[in-house]
Structure 1
Amino acid sequence: MVLISIPPNTPSLLSKEYPDEVFSWEQVYHFVQTNQIKRIHRHPSTQAVYQKWLDETLAKYGTIENYLLSTKLAAFDGPASPGDPSVILLPNDFPYSVERGIDHQLLWSRTPLSPSFVESYLQSHYDPSIWEWVYFVNPPEVQSVKKLPHVHIFLRHRPTAPSLSHTHNHTQNITV
């Protein structure tokens, strides 16, 4: 099993912050829990940069999957095993528009990940007394990378006051 993690707060390709259309932790949590994940999106400026990158990358690599497997996910070099998925956690290079202090990460795999695997992975890599998270898988109609299973994970340090539980997940959107 390959387990690669990049620490939260690692700058992505887009480190510029946009003051408009920024989603709070409470909004992200609410949208995931109420199955409104399509409401969480990139800032229009980030989306424009992403679209330009997408066009250039498709022209060079043919597919986003080819790009990812030859660059960021090159560690996926063997056959996938359904019982023991290899995963790589990376910052989203084109993150959704969330407030400062929330990290948008992507957990990549060659096989679909169960909610229990994702939860176990997060608990083993991020101390639940320090971190809280929420995660989901985009529905097929809005997935830009359909052939490589990945989970969108939003992480933040827990506030000192009691807060939402760390086990925020929307299992209806995770392929088992």
Structure 2
Amino acid sequence: MATDTTDLGAFPLTAIDREIIAMNDEDFPLVKWDELTEIISANRLEKLKRRPSDLRRYIRWSNETKAEYGSIPNFVVQERLKWTPLPSSIPGEPPKFEFLDSVPFKNQNDFKILKNDWPYGLDTGIVHICVWLKTPIETDSSTGDVTDHSRSLIKKFVDDTFSSKLDTAFGPGKGKDHVLWFKNWVALQSVRGVDHIHVLVRDAPPDMLEDWTRQ
């Protein structure tokens, strides 16, 4: 049965969005770990979608948040990150922040780890985390993807922060099998202007999840 979308405002729905919105959650195929690994490995990030009920709520929340805060980045910066952007003289310019180290992830005060408020439709046991940065992550202007240097910085951070910690739960060298990461291409970002990476962890102990996102 089709779902009424008249209350979803002016959100730019794609054809796939409309298909998902018309579905019930029970009919939506959750992405399992092996499939998630393939999607990220192939950089087919556009295949990651939210559950129908979550997508409908996200669209309504997005419309309401934009009306109140002017943009999603404004909300994230003010309410979730609690960061103060540097003054800007250019209207509409993405926010910039004072940082302690120009190298991404080098200083703990330059990033914040939070659970994703609006995760994709993932299988049970997979938790979606976002790592937000004050320091810009370099990307390739022609593709929107991260550069090789940025990729190496991200991988080291993910290994040190997540994989090595999960070794204590699953055994030496096993933690990496429970962690995936990606950075959305610029065109796919729902929160543009505030650099962040996505980290997916599988079957992580609750106390470890709490420790990561305690900031």
Same fold (TM over 0.5): yes
From 133, 151, 161, the counterpart of 2:179: 133
Q: What is the aligned-residue RMSD (CA, Å)? A: 2.1
Counterpart in 1 of 2:65? 57
Task: Point out where structure 2 has 5 or more consecutive residues left out of the alignment.
Answer: 1-24, 86-96, 139-149, 205-215
Counterpart in 2 of 1:143? 189
CA distance 1:82–1:128, change in 2 (3 Å): same
Counterpart in 1 of 2:98? 79
Give 1:128 shift.
4.6
CA distance 1:107–1:35, change in 2 (3 Å): same
Q: Which structure dedicates a bigger proportion of its chain to strand?
A: 1
1:64 and 1:33 map into 2 onto residues whose CA distance is 28
From 44, 55, 59, the counterpart of 1:47: 55
From 109, 112, 126, the counterpart of 1:88: 112
Query: Secondary structure at 2:124's aligned position in 1?
Result: coil
The letter for the 2-side match of 1:62 is G
CA distance 1:84–1:29, change in 2 (3 Å): closer
From 128, 148, 152, the counterpart of 1:116: 152
CA distance 1:152–1:62, change in 2 (3 Å): same
Measured against aligned partners, the alpha-carbon deviations of 1:98-150 in whole angstroms (never above 9, x if no partner) come to 01111111111122172233223223333252332111111222211110111
The letter for the 2-side match of 1:122 is V
Does 1:32 find its partner at 2:40?
A: yes
From 6, 22, 25, the counterpart of 2:30: 22
Query: Secondary structure at 1:141's aligned position in 2?
Result: helix
The letter for the 2-side match of 1:149 is D
Moved more, 142-151 or 130-139: 130-139
- Do the aligned residues in 1 keep the contact of 2:72 with 2:191 (CA within 8 Å)? yes
1:98 and 1:73 map into 2 onto residues whose CA distance is 25
Query: Secondary structure at 1:71's aligned position in 2?
Result: helix
Counterpart in 2 of 1:153? 199
The letter for the 1-side match of 2:102 is P
From 115, 126, 151, the counterpart of 1:102: 126
Q: Which has the higher contact order (CA 8 A, sep 6+)?
A: 1
Provide the TM-score with structure 2 as the length reference. 0.59
1:84 and 1:123 map into 2 onto residues whose CA distance is 15
Query: Secondary structure at 2:202's aligned position in 1?
Result: strand
Give 1:58 shift.
0.4
Percent identity between the two aligned chains: 24
2:76 and 2:152 map into 1 onto residues whose CA distance is 25
Query: Secondary structure at 1:66's aligned position in 2?
Result: helix
- Do the aligned residues in 1 keep the contact of 2:73 with 2:191 (CA within 8 Å)? yes
Query: Secondary structure at 1:21's aligned position in 2?
Result: coil
Q: Which structure dedicates a bigger proportion of its chain to helix?
A: 2
